[in-house]
């Protein structure tokens, strides 16, 4: 039954042109930080936005934004991996 509910939610989001955005942060965000990030995301993706915040301490710092197939990596871990790839 949860699969049916999930599919229904996806269909409704698509119908309403709702954009789901996952914010993965190295540390918990306070309300002010969440609001600032949501404002920037609404400018990029539109007003009808649903955000979810997850914590991943392995990022070391910063955050990752995921929406559909798009991934914006502003994490310390991502920057270090990119630097490692450049010097290898």
- Per-run averaged pLDDT (10 residues), the chain, 88 residues: 73 75 95 94 89 94 93 93 91
Q: Where are the beta strands (DSSP E) in the chain?
A: 19-25, 49-55, 62-67, 70-75
The reported pTM is 0.78
- The pLDDT, as a whole number, for residue 68 is 85
What span, in angstroms and rounded, lies between the C-alpha atoms of 25 and 23? 6
Phi, psi angle pair for 29, to nearest 5°: -100, 140
- The pLDDT, as a whole number, for residue 1 is 63
| Domain ranges (residues) in the chain | 2-87
Q: Give the CA radius of gyration of the chain.
A: 15
Listed residue (63, 17, 57) closest to 38, CA to CA? 63
- The pLDDT, as a whole number, for residue 15 is 67
């Amino acid at each position: 039954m949860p699969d049916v509910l999930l599919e229904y939610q996806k269909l409704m989001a698509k119908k309403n042109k709702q954009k789901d955005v996952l914010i993965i942060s190295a540390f918990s965000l306070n309300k002010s930080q969440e609001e600032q990030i949501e404002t920037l995301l609404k400018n990029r993706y539109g007003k009808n936005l649903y955000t979810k915040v997850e914590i991943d301490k392995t990022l070391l710092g910063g955050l990752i934004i995921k929406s559909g197939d798009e991934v914006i990596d502003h994490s310390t871990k991502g920057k270090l991996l990119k630097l490692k790839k450049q010097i290898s």
